[in-house]
Amino acid sequence: MINLLFNDSYFQKILLGIVILAFTTGAIGVFVTERKQALVGDALSHAALPGVVIAFMIFNTRRIEVLLLGALIASLISMFLLEIIKRYSKIKFDASMALILSSFFGFGNVLMNFLIGSDQAGLQKFIFGEAATMLQKDVNMIVIVSIVVLFLAILFWKHIKLYIFDEGFYSSLGFNSKLISGLLSFLTVLVVIISIRAIGVVLMSALLIAPAVTARFWSDRLNVNFILAGIFGAIAGIIGTYFSFTVKGLPTGPVIVVALSIILIVSLLLSPKKGLIVKAINIKRHKYLIVKYHDLVHLYQHNEFSTNNIEHLNHYLNKGYITNDNSKYQLTNKGNTLVNNILRGEKLWV
């Protein structure tokens, strides 16, 4: 890894592009998941395929900027159709996304069949992605678009945050919710379009959603999730790029998705707030503390001790959990805090 990083300029170029791409996509994915539109990235990436093929048919060139422009237009059309279906029909949003996804992707594959062998093969990379074949201009485009996307996200951060968590209140303040919704959709389209060249339309949604879902296991704050999701995406990007260079024939995109899946599973099990293993340990610890401090809990709830065990009473007195006033025991502030924490399941490691 170190040798590649410092001595291989080609690896450095690809690594830079993938890390910036994965960070930006993961960070923007937080907005998508918070809006409960996890399938949007999948729908947009699949909808981009016919745009790529039509752009190639019209201009007869494989220049990345031309093909991505076609993908951008197709994705914007699909986003527009999603909004129309959502607004003027009774079809649920997830059903409309599945409809757009399958229709556009199927149309793209039909168009691919009209191309001759070499042309068809050249466009196949947009289905599964080929990060290792990116040129300097591809990396430059990724960097520029990523900077623009992150800049806009930070610039309108307060508006985005308020809109996501309370759209009604946001509108009541006099702001136009349609504009901020359009901005979020536009940012999502941009990160999807710049990602399909490296990751492909099939795996794109994983890069958009997995880092954001993983970040939720570590924090409930939007700004922290935004950064964490970007970091998780970048880490997976580094792993995917490294293994695609060191293991012959191993594609970058699938390795990135596998790495994201591993990070997600580890977070699911071990994150300090919501990890399954940590939760199981806390539940067991909670039950143990309720049994251990049963006398204090009873005193808290009924204002009387349920035991005359001198050893227990002395222990509670020495720890400062209770006071003895003319043989009447009362909880101290420390004892009240302990019992409250036990009953709420907080700060259990006492």
d(CA 57, CA 51): 10
Tokens encoding 316: 């509670």
d(CA 47, CA 22): 20
pLDDT tens sequence across 157-191: 999 999 998 888 888 888 888 889 889 988 988 89
Q: How many CA atoms lie within 13 A of 108 on its CB side?
A: 30
Q: For residue 309, how far is the Cα from the chain centroid?
A: 54
Integer-rounded Cα radius of gyration of the chain: 27
d(CA 229, CA 55): 33
pLDDT tier at 267 (50, 70, 90 boundaries)? very high
Least confidently predicted of 3-7, 152-156, 264-268, 311-315? 3-7
Q: Give the model's pLDDT for residue 307.
A: 65
Q: Give the model's pLDDT for residue 156.
A: 93
pLDDT tens sequence across 79-122: 888 888 878 888 887 788 888 888 888 888 888 888 766 566 56
pLDDT tier at 215 (50, 70, 90 boundaries)? very high
